[in-house]
């Protein structure tokens, strides 16, 4: 470096001074960059530090503790799902019983309402049906809805709900619902 400064001081030509300065900057950058490339090594290329027996046993205990916690959590979640599934089954059976009671009581008007029956409505409906002295005679059958005639016709031909839905370009669930609520 001192040689470079001496050259710059004794040189009378400005271009030589700038040239010497540029060479010095390039050499400095080269040395700095070369030093950085050696310090940045791939962390995976290093050899792992050997653990002592005590450290290995501690890691094994930690891992087995985590595995036990995961197993307990999975068991709790499974139990919660089983409980919810059982409650859902009970609710479905109750709904089927109440639906059968409504059908037997001759209340087709309640079944054909556009508003869904909620759980808060069911005691009133079941109470109303239990207070009835005798089942009313079947009302005269209403003609099928003209919007459903195509679905009924295709179902009478033996087609599946999927085929009917594709043929009429309607949702599969809608076709299933219409067929499930089809008057006998």
Residues in the chain: 184
C-alpha 157/C-alpha 151 separation (Å) is 10
Q: Are 64 and 106 part of one and the same domain?
A: yes
Answer whether residue 174 is part of any domain: yes
Per-residue pLDDT at 36 = 62
Sign of CA dihedral 127, 128, 131, 133: negative
Per the CB < 8 A criterion, the answer to whether 141 and 106 are in contact is no
C-alpha 146/C-alpha 49 separation (Å) is 80
**Helix, strand, coil shares, percent, the chain, to 5:** 70, 0, 30
Provide the residue range defining the domain that includes 163.
147-184
Q: Are 26 and 63 part of one and the same domain?
A: no
C-alpha 64/C-alpha 183 separation (Å) is 61
pTM score? 0.30
Answer whether residue 41 is part of any domain: no
Kindly report the number of other CB atoms within 10 A of residue 129's CB atom.
17
Answer whether residue 162 is part of any domain: yes
Q: Are 107 and 68 part of one and the same domain?
A: yes
Q: What does each of the 184 residues of the chain score in pLDDT, given as a tens digit?
A: 555 555 545 545 677 778 888 899 998 888 887 766 555 667 677 777 777 888 889 999 999 999 999 999 999 998 898 889 889 899 999 999 989 988 888 755 555 554 454 444 444 444 444 454 555 555 556 666 777 888 989 999 999 999 999 999 989 888 888 888 887 7
Answer whether residue 43 is part of any domain: no
Measured in whole angstroms, how far is the alpha carbon of residue 184 from the centre of its chain?
Answer: 40
Give buried/exposed letters for 108-121 (b at 16+ CB in 10 A, else e): eeeeeeeeebeeee
Q: How many domains does the chain have?
A: 3
Q: Residue 36 has which token pair? A: 């950085």
Per-residue pLDDT at 72 = 92
Q: Are 107 and 64 part of one and the same domain?
A: yes
Answer whether residue 50 is part of any domain: no
Answer whether residue 124 is part of any domain: no
Answer whether residue 40 is part of any domain: no
Answer whether residue 135 is part of any domain: no
């Amino acid at each position: 470096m001192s040689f470079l400064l001496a050259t710059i001081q004794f040189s009378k030509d400005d271009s030589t001074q700038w040239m010497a300065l540029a060479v010095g900057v390039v050499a400095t950058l080269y040395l700095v960059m070369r030093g950085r490339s050696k310090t940045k090594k791939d962390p995976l290329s290093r050899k792992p530090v050997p653990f002592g027996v005590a450290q290995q046993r501690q890691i094994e205990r930690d891992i087995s503790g985590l595995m036990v916690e995961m197993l307990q959590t999975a068991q709790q979640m499974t139990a919660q799902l089983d409980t919810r599934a059982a409650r859902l089954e009970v609710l479905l059976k109750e709904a089927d019983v109440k639906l059968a009671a409504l059908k037997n009581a001759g209340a087709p008007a309640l079944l054909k309402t556009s508003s869904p029956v909620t759980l808060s409505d069911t005691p009133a409906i079941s109470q109303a049906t239990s207070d009835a002295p005798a089942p009313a005679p079947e009302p005269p059958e209403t003609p099928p809805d003209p919007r459903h005639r195509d679905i009924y016709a295709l179902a009478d031909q033996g087609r599946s709900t999927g085929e009917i839905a594709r043929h009429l370009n309607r949702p599969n669930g809608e076709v299933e619902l219409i067929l499930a609520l089809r008057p006998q």
